[in-house]
Structure formats: C-alpha cells, structure tokens
Structure 1
C-alpha cells in the first residue's frame, strides 16, 4: 500500500521547520540520514523522498547534498503554488523543474504538491488546474494535486504564524476541489479528466470524519496515486494506532506516498510541531515502525510498537 515515504513536509518553509532552532538545516539533514536508513532497513522497496521543498530552491538542495542527506533518499520533491503563494508565474513550472534537475541530476524530481485555490474566484482554479496539467503531465514521474477538500475554517491551518500571515493564511482554506460543505467546485470535473495521471495530496486530521467520503470520491474520480501523512505527534495521542490502522486500511486501494512529519511538542528542542528534536533517532524509529506496520518487507504480521 505504501510505495513511497517522504521525510518531513516542506522543511525549508519556516511554517513547517523552525529556522531559529536549526538555521543551517544540519539537524534536519541528520534526521533524513537516520530516517532514510531506517526506512531502507524496514523495506528497501519503499522509495524514500526528501521532504517536498517550498520554495523551490536549488541552493537548499545543494546544502542538503553538502550535509549528506541526498545520499539517504531516492527522490527529490518540490511544491509549487504560483497563483497563490509563490513569486513566479504559472508558466514557469518547467523552468523550476530544470533548476532542481541541474543540482540533483542523479535523482528523479516529483511534484508532491501543486495547487490553485479558489480564494479569489473558482474560475481561476479551473484555469490553473488545466494549465498545470498541460505543463507537468509527462514532464515528471509523479504529480499530486493539493487538495481534494477545502479546509474547514473552524479547524485552522497548520502554520506557525496563522492569521498574522494575512491573506496568505486564509488561502489555505480554499485549495480543495470540493467545498467544506461537501459540494463540488467547477474544477472537479476538469480534475477527473486527468486523475489517472495526476494524483491527489490530502491530509487527514486525527479521526478525520471525511476519510470514507474521500475514498469514495477518489475511486469515482479514478485516482490511482495519493499522498497523505502519518503524524509523529499524533502517535502519542490515545488510540493513535487505531486511527492509523483505520486510515491506512481505507487507503489500501491506492498507491500511497506517506509523509512522516510533525514533532511531538515534548520531544522538540522548542515545544512546537515544527521544531528539530533532541533525539533524531526517535523520529527514525517512528518511520521504521510505520513501514513495518503498513509496508512490511515480508508477509509477516505487522509489528507492535515497542517504544
């Protein structure tokens, strides 16, 4: 069920990795090296993906190479939202891919998040989806559209500065192809035409009530590839394994790229989900546990957590 494992989400984005705690990303790189080894030991068939970068930054990739992190992964991933957050035109997508291929010629480049929100107008999302498909399908091996659902306003977006980000924060709530009330947007029909070639990226919150409906929508749309997450922080909640089991069982018909991220506050150098940690091996152990449980290398029964 798990074809690939991504090591963190947007580690060069200060909303997801605290640069005050780890200004040169050496602590993150150490986590990548340890997690990459742990995933390979658990199941060498699982593709290891460097946390999808946002912004797309070849200098950051070179830094990861200098720290030794690129040797621990099989794929380099990028995220791009040129009509919402990035300061480059939509038509520059091919150039952004070339930038990363130039500094990581030995790694495939996946687009693990791309999207256009309906914050300004739903017609903009229709245009953006179709143009993105034209630019990227056939250009890179994997593409994941973000996202299936709008984020409900009452849930709040997972960023470090929240409303202080201004309109950038509120755009988080309009990235879906389906509104928060469950009704489809116009772009959903356009996405259906490319669903077999462009996967979906959908975060599922702990005990997310949308899970079963999401699976139903994805099957009707013809989605084959899904990127989602398993939260290290959530693993310390009561009944976390029950939720993880339910989520992964529900997604069993898709080729899943699972993202391992979110620091448990009690393990961070700073008490925040974006902080580097005191013991990076603890994160690697979490990754190995998840792969052993949901993508075991053999037909053995999934293992129980030992720590």
Structure 2
C-alpha cells in the first residue's frame, strides 16, 4: 500500500518541530536516522524521504547532511507556497530547486505546493498552471496541496495562529474542493496534469470524508498520493482500526505516508511539535506502520504461501509497539 515513507513534516518550521527544545536540530537528526533505519530493517526496498522542508532552506539540508541524515534516506523534499507564505516569487521555483541540488545529489520531491483561494479562485487557477509549467520535468515528484479546504471548525497546524494575520486564514482555502465538496475553478485544470502531478490530502482521525475523497481522486486521475499516519493518534482508542480503514481505502494509490506528530505524553514538552523523550519510540512506530502496510518481500512471501492468506491478513500484519518509560 505504501510506496514511500516520509520522516516527519516540515522539520525546519516551528509549526511542526519546536526549535526551542532542539535549537541545533541534533535531536531531530538522531530521531530521523533511527526512524529511517527502522523502516529499512522492515522493508529495505521502501523509499525513505526526509520530511519536506518549509521554508526551502539549502542550509538546513546541509545541516542534515553534516549530521549524516542524508546517508539514511533516499530522497529529500521541500514545500513551497510563493503566492501565499514564502517571501519569493513563483517564477523563482527553478532557482530554488537548483539551490537544493547544489547541496545534495539525492532526488528532490516537491511534496507540497499549492495556492489558496483566500483572495480569489482565479489566483489558484493561474498559480496551478504556472506551477506545472515551472516544476514539471525539474523534480522527481510534485504533489499538490490539497484536495479539500480545511474545515473552518478546525485550527490550522501552526504555532503562529492569528498573529499571522491573513496568512493564517489562507490555510483554510488551499483545496481544489470547498469544505462542502463543491469544485473550484482549478479542479478541471488539475485533472489535466494527473497523474504526473500527485496530490496531498491529510485525513484526521476517523475522517468521515475519506470515501468521498477517494472517489474524487479516482475521478481526477490521481495515482500518487501523500497523506499521514500520526504517532500521536496511535495512542487513541481504536487507532489501528482507523489506520486500517484509511490505508485500505487508499490501497489503489501509490501512497507516500508521512510519519509525524509526537504524543503529548511522550514529548520533552507536552506538544505534538516536541522532540520525543525517547526517540527510539518514534522509530518503533515507523517500523510498526511499515510492517503493517508495506511489509518486506520476505514477509509477503511467507504470508502468500499460507493456504488461508487473505488481503485482510496481509493488512493486519504488525509489530507490537511497546512504549518505553
């Protein structure tokens, strides 16, 4: 079900990793290497991607290289939103990509790029066309963010919140579909670029819109999708039942799963952006999810030889997680 595993999301953004706890990112680098090795041990053939950086900062990739992180992953990723949040213009995309290529020979994924309709839907339509023109053929993967607008009742995942002014509210208008499922102007244009351009859609715990999203993605011709499995959600009641439902619904797509979010009770601070108390626990979670949804070929061979093998059995393969105190 999984073609790639992404280790964390936007590690150089305080909305996803707290730099006050880990000012030199050494804790993050150690955790990322443990996670990458744990994924490899379960499935050596699975592509491991360093979590997409935002903002695009070659210096951060250089820092990860100095810590040895790039020796443990197969690709690096970056996120860019020049029409909404970044302090550079959209035509700079080729230069931003080349700045990353100057510090690493690994494949470069643009694992989130998008345009909000906060000001006007026409801006998103133009931005999608321009993004496709500037990025197609320049990077190994492009994934558009996102299918749905963020529901207005949810908070956006950011540490800045309303202090951002209008930038905060742009989070809620990034979809090709409105919150009620109605299409925006750019939806038809997006379908012209699939399957070359993939999609990003995060699903919250027990998301009621999962099946509708799957239906839309099939209609749009999407073949590769990026989503997430939350380490924090792993501690909720019925977590595995929800993970199984989510991943089962997405089994027809080539899925990049982002492993992210520290459980409050397992962080150095009680927040999902905190470095964990015991980084090996995050690696355990990555291994468990990989074994469950992307087991290595030897495990699959063993299971497929069983006379009672079924798709549900293959789905339910897991390594038990044992939280350390």
The two structures have a TM-score, normalised by structure 1, of: 0.98
The separation in 1 between residues aligned to 2:111 and 2:128, in whole angstroms, is 15
Q: 2: CA distance between counterparts of 1:100 and 1:279?
A: 31
Residue 184 of structure 2 is matched in structure 1 by 185
What does 1:40-79 align with in structure 2 at a 5 Å threshold? 40-79=40-79
Is the 8 Å Cα contact of residues 5 and 46 (structure 2) preserved in structure 1?
yes
- Count, aligned residues: 306
Query: Unaligned regions of 5+ residues in structure 2, if any?
Result: 304-313
Distance in 1 (CA, whole Å) between partners of 2:229 and 2:263 is: 13
- 1:279 and 1:209 map into 2 onto residues whose CA distance is 33
SS at match of 1:9: coil
For residues 191 and 113 of structure 1, the distance between their equivalents in structure 2, rounded to whole angstroms, comes to: 14
Equivalences for residues 149-160 of structure 1 within 5 A: 149-160=148-159
CA deviation digits over 1:212-270, x for unaligned, max 9? 00000000000000000000000000000000000000000000000000000001001
Q: Where does residue 96 of structure 2 map in the other structure?
A: 96
Deviations 1:22-77 (A, max 9, x none): 00000000011100100000101110000100011011111101111111111010
Structure 1 unaligned segments of length 5 or more: list them. none
Cα deviations across residues 82-112 of structure 1 (Å, max 9, x unaligned)?
A: 000001110111110000000002x000100
Give the aligned partner of residue 6 of structure 2.
6
Name the structure 2 match of 1:286: 285
> For the pair shown, which has the larger CA radius of gyration, 1 or 2?
2
| CA RMSD across the alignment | 0.8
Once the two structures are TM-superposed, the CA of residue 305 in structure 1 deviates from its matched residue by 2.3
Runs of 4+ in 1 over 3 A off after TM superposition: none
- Shift in Å, 1:169: 1.1
Shift of 1:147: 0.1
